[in-house]
Amino acid sequence: MAGVSDDLLTTYQLAPSILSADFARLGEQVSTVMDAGVKVIHVDVMDGHFVPNITIGPVVAAAISEQVHGAGGVLDVHLMIENPERYIDAFAAAGADWINVHVEACVHLNMTLSQIRAAGCKAGVTLNPATPLSHVQEVLGDIDYALMMTVNPGFSGQDFIPGVVPKIERARHLLPDHVGLQIDGGIGPETIETALDTGANLFVAGSAVYGAEDPAAAAGQLMAAMRARGN
Ligand code: DX5
Ligand code: ZN
């Protein structure tokens, strides 16, 4: 899986968030988008402390990881939780391939990122909309991708915050070429061109995919916009 995972980090990829899926038929909802060509499945983990909402834990990641890997994809776990270091090994054991943590939740960021890599996963660092890009500067050697939130984390279905765009553009210039740049929140048919203009290559979409009448078609439309830009 290592080679596949590396390519996925630096090419255009749509990462549907299962937070907006129908949990009563989660496996089927994952198949629907993977059959349409999706390779990255985004898992939003919330603890009711770092963010107001509570969502899912390692048990749910484990329930879909074999299916995702079997289809040649990766599980991208977004930890919106306090003390993320306590849960990294559990998500790695559940089959997570990529794990990202918020700088706002990490007291010992370098250590936490090293822990993700030691667990065999790709490590990502995540910034809330108001968190300065300078927080990434000292961990450039410790990350495989960076996530710039384009909403305040906690819920799907929020509006894309255009004020984050200049930070995303600066992030692309700061990050080495082998480091992926992900954005998350409010990405859909109306914002995908703006999102692509920023230089990001990994696009999380929750409600735009799973809130659509036809999730496969919605994912296909967003992936077509990406293909039109290259790789
Ligand atoms: C927000 C989550 C997002 C969210 C995206 O806290 O991190 O991944 O599910 O949902 P949409 O695409 O609906 O904004
Ligand atoms: Zn997310």
Domains of the chain: 2-229 (3.20.20.70)
Residue 91 confidence (pLDDT) = 98
pTM of the prediction?
Answer: 0.97
Closest to 185 in 3D by CA, of 168, 166, 208: 208
- Position 5 scores a pLDDT of 60
Q: What is the pLDDT of residue 228?
A: 97
Q: What does the alpha-carbon distance between residue 118 and residue 122 come to, in Å, rounded to a whole number? A: 9
Res 1: pLDDT: 44
* Regions in the chain scoring below 70 on pLDDT: 1-5, 231
Which atom of ligand 1 approaches the CA of 46 most closely?
6
Rounded to an integer, what distance in angstroms lies between the CA atom of residue 173 and that of residue 132? 15
- What is the model's pLDDT at position 2? 44
What pLDDT is attached to residue 6? 75
**Neighbour tally for 185: CB within 10 Å:** 26
Residue with CA closest to ligand 1 atom 9: 156
Q: What are phi and psi of 146, to 5 degrees?
A: -125, 140
Name beta bridge partners: 100.
Answer: 78, 124
Measured in Å, residue 57 CA sits from the centre of ligand 2 at: 14
Report how far apart, in Å, the C-alpha atoms of 81 and of each of 15, 60, 64, 88, 219 are: 20, 16, 21, 11, 28
Sign of CA dihedral 24, 152, 193, 176: negative
Pocket of ligand 1 (CB under 6 A): 17, 19-20, 42, 44, 78, 151, 153-158, 184-187, 204-208
